[in-house]
């Protein structure tokens, strides 16, 4: 089992950005499909196992989903790749790291409440970064289990949905549909008041990663978080949105300097373009005041 001081199994480290991340992610998704198929009941999925390093109570299904991810990471490390994994349940785990600054940021199940309640909108998210901030994410992968869709992006090379390029382009009706996540009533009421007269409809999907990918695909005109999120929630999807041409920001962090560790918490706002993003800023500021 890898740890913070583990050395590479080979004499020469292989650039982790050159690994077959799409192949690894697809194998993880296949394993997750099998996991979800083994227990399709709410009772069976509502079994807890302590708390993860991210601070939330951990479902057994979360642990098992993460096990499938780390099995793939161990295989990549065995082939010579060195990196540090940042995962919601296990925290920070080193795979070699002899001079490598690469980070692999993982959310085995983004939208655990949906997965537990057998609602279809939950996702697997993985980002590979060359440094410790959002702006240094180089590869992104999000799989939406509800729709069975695969979103990917590489920095500077655009975003794709099921292998086809996508752009953050909607029908041009302004803020027709806006997504809000972490939708506790007491948190979203002030945001809804601020959105009155600015947005036509609101959607709460239940997964920050899916929500941002929907902005990337032009399905949502804008997206906001009602409470601070963690790196694992947004690291992959924010690159997909930006590579699709969406306007996106982490308020208080310039040039996407938000950290990729598990300690930092921040809001994220996204829209199809800069004008729509500016309309959403006062709404996001209301959310920040709530907490």
- 3-class state of residue 128 by DSSP: strand
Q: How confident is the model at residue 10 (pLDDT cuts 50, 70, 90)?
A: very low
Q: How confident is the model at residue 289 (pLDDT cuts 50, 70, 90)?
A: confident
The rounded Cα 88 to chain-centroid distance in angstroms is 11
The rounded Cα 288 to chain-centroid distance in angstroms is 20
Q: Are residues 162 and 183 in the same domain?
A: no
* 128 in any annotated domain: yes
CA nearest to 128, candidates 102, 98, 89: 102
Burial class (CB in 10 A: 0-12, 13-18, 19+), 270: buried
pLDDT, tens digit, for every residue of 169-210?
Answer: 999 999 999 999 988 888 899 999 999 999 999 999 999 999
The rounded Cα 163 to chain-centroid distance in angstroms is 19
Domain that holds residue 269: 177-290
Q: Are residues 183 and 144 in the same domain?
A: no
Mean pLDDT for the stretch of residues 13-36: 90
Distance CA 108, CA 9 (A): 26
Q: Are residues 260 and 128 in the same domain?
A: no
Q: Are residues 100 and 185 in the same domain?
A: no
Report how many domains make up the chain: 2
CATH code at position 131: 3.30.540.10
Q: Are residues 105 and 158 in the same domain?
A: yes
If one compares 227 and 165, the residue with the highest pLDDT of the two is 165
Answer with the one of 131, 166, 201 that is the final residue of a domain.
166
* 94 in any annotated domain: yes
Q: Are residues 184 and 133 in the same domain?
A: no
Q: Are residues 146 and 181 in the same domain?
A: no
Answer with the one of 137, 166, 195 that is the final residue of a domain.
166
Q: Are residues 147 and 197 in the same domain?
A: no
Q: Are residues 272 and 183 in the same domain?
A: yes
Cα dist from 45 to 37, 53, 113, 143, whole Å: 11, 20, 10, 20
Q: Are residues 117 and 143 in the same domain?
A: yes
* 257 in any annotated domain: yes
Distance CA 281, CA 125 (A): 26
Q: Are residues 145 and 245 in the same domain?
A: no
- 3-class state of residue 166 by DSSP: strand
pLDDT, tens digit, for every residue of 72-107?
Answer: 999 999 999 999 999 988 899 999 866 578 999 999
* 10 in any annotated domain: no
Instruction: Give the predicted TM-score (pTM) of the model.
Output: 0.91
Answer with the one of 114, 145, 166 that is the final residue of a domain.
166
Distance CA 262, CA 87 (A): 8
Across the strands, what pairs with 229? 266
Across the strands, what pairs with 151? 142, 161
* 188 in any annotated domain: yes
* 236 in any annotated domain: yes
Q: How does 101-128 read in b/e, with b if 16+ C-beta sit within 10 Å?
A: ebbbbbbbbbbbebbbeeeebbbbbbbb
* 38 in any annotated domain: yes
pLDDT at residue 7, as a whole number: 36
* 9 in any annotated domain: no
Q: Are residues 159 and 183 in the same domain?
A: no
CA geometry: angle at 247 spanning 288 and 91, to 5°? Answer: 60
Here the tokens at position 290 are 């709530």
Pairing assessment for the beta strands 222-225 and 269-271 based on DSSP bridges: antiparallel
Across the strands, what pairs with 64? none
CATH code at position 267: 3.40.190.80
> N- to C-terminal Cα distance for the chain?
38
């Amino acid at each position: 089992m890898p740890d913070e001081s583990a050395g590479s199994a080979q004499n020469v480290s292989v650039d982790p950005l050159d690994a077959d991340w799409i192949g690894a992610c697809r194998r993880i998704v296949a394993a997750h499909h099998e996991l979800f198929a083994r227990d399709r009941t709410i009772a069976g999925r509502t079994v807890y196992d302590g708390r993860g390093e991210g601070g939330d109570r951990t479902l057994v299904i979360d642990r098992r989903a993460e096990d499938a991810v780390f099995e793939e990471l161990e295989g990549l490390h065995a082939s010579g790749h060195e990196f540090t994994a940042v995962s919601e349940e296990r925290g920070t785990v080193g795979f070699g790291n002899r001079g490598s600054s690469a980070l692999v940021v993982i959310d085995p199940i983004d939208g655990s409440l949906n997965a537990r309640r057998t609602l279809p909108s939950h996702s697997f998210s993985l980002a590979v970064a060359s440094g410790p901030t959002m702006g240094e994410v180089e590869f992104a992968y999000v799989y939406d289990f509800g729709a069975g869709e695969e979103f990917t992006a590489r920095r500077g090379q655009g975003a794709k949905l099921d292998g086809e390029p996508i752009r953050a382009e909607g029908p041009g009706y302004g803020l027709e549909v806006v997504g809000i996540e972490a939708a506790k009533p007491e948190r979203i009421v002030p945001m809804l008041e601020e959105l009155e007269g600015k947005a036509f409809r609101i959607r709460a999907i239940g997964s920050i990663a899916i929500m941002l990918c929907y902005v990337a695909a032009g399905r949502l005109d804008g997206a906001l978080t009602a409470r601070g999120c963690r790196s694992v929630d947004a690291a992959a999807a924010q690159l997909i949105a930006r590579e699709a041409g969406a306007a996106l920001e982490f308020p208080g962090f310039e040039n996407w300097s938000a950290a990729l560790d598990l300690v930092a918490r921040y809001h994220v706002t996204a829209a199809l373009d800069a004008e729509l993003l500016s309309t959403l800023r006062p709404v996001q500021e209301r959310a920040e005041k709530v907490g």
